[in-house]
Chain A
């Protein structure tokens, strides 16, 4: 089995956007049937899959039998090291630097291009100034609603 005791990570394919409901259903089945499933992970970054920590593949196969939206078990197994990055998600503003050119992807300013003036990692917000605005007004927006066009521009 794995080097991390006897827990192995198995990957189950699900219908898109049903990851959380599959995880909840699997929990209920594991409790009802007393299956040795130790934890279930449904990261937002991994669309269409859930990760199941169990000692062997047969437990997972048995559990997903009756779960709607759980489509199939992905062949093979993962180790804990491979999924560690899902447990501590990076702030959404990672990679956005002051002076970068970004495009706003949602909200009332969708499609507008702007220059980053300030990055607030704690709140995951950035303050930008729109290019097309007549008067430069700083706007604070969420870090996940932008797309970086140009990393940093020397003024």
Chain B
């Protein structure tokens, strides 16, 4: 099954709803990936305003 991305938080997930936002507003058309492993120390996470470790898409259509 293709991985989906939540249009609101950009998380890459499997399934039909985003476990964090609780929304079903997902997209299979996404590109680019950023994996945040340590949100406290990561400068990229700070710039993107990400506070939890996860996989995120850079662009969602």
By a CB distance below 8 angstroms, the chain B residues around A7 are: 41-44
Choose from A4, A19, A20, A27 the contact partner of B43 (Cβ within 8 Å).
Answer: A4
Interface flag for A100 (CB, 8 Å): no
Known: A42-B32, A44-B32. A80 touches B43 (CB 8 A): yes
CA distance A5 to B43 in the complex (A): 8
The reply to whether A87 and B37 contact each other, CB–CB distance below 8 Å, is no
Choose from A19, A27, A43, A80 the contact partner of B37 (Cβ within 8 Å).
Answer: A27
The reply to whether A42 and B44 contact each other, CB–CB distance below 8 Å, is no
Interface flag for B9 (CB, 8 Å): no
By a CB distance below 8 angstroms, the chain A residues around B47 are: 80, 84, 87
Choose from B31, B34, B35, B55 the contact partner of A87 (Cβ within 8 Å).
Answer: B34
Q: Which of A14-28 contact B (CB under 8 A)?
A: 19-20, 23-24, 26-27
Interface flag for B21 (CB, 8 Å): no
By a CB distance below 8 angstroms, the chain B residues around A36 are: 38, 41
CA distance A139 to B33 in the complex (A): 31
In the assembled complex, how far is the CB of residue A27 from the closest CB belonging to chain B, in whole angstroms?
5
The reply to whether A20 and B33 contact each other, CB–CB distance below 8 Å, is yes
The reply to whether A53 and B44 contact each other, CB–CB distance below 8 Å, is yes
A and B contact pairs by CB, cutoff 8 A, 16 listed: A20-B33, A24-B55, A27-B35, A30-B37, A38-B38, A38-B41, A38-B42, A39-B37, A39-B44, A41-B33, A42-B35, A43-B58, A44-B58, A45-B32, A80-B47, A89-B31
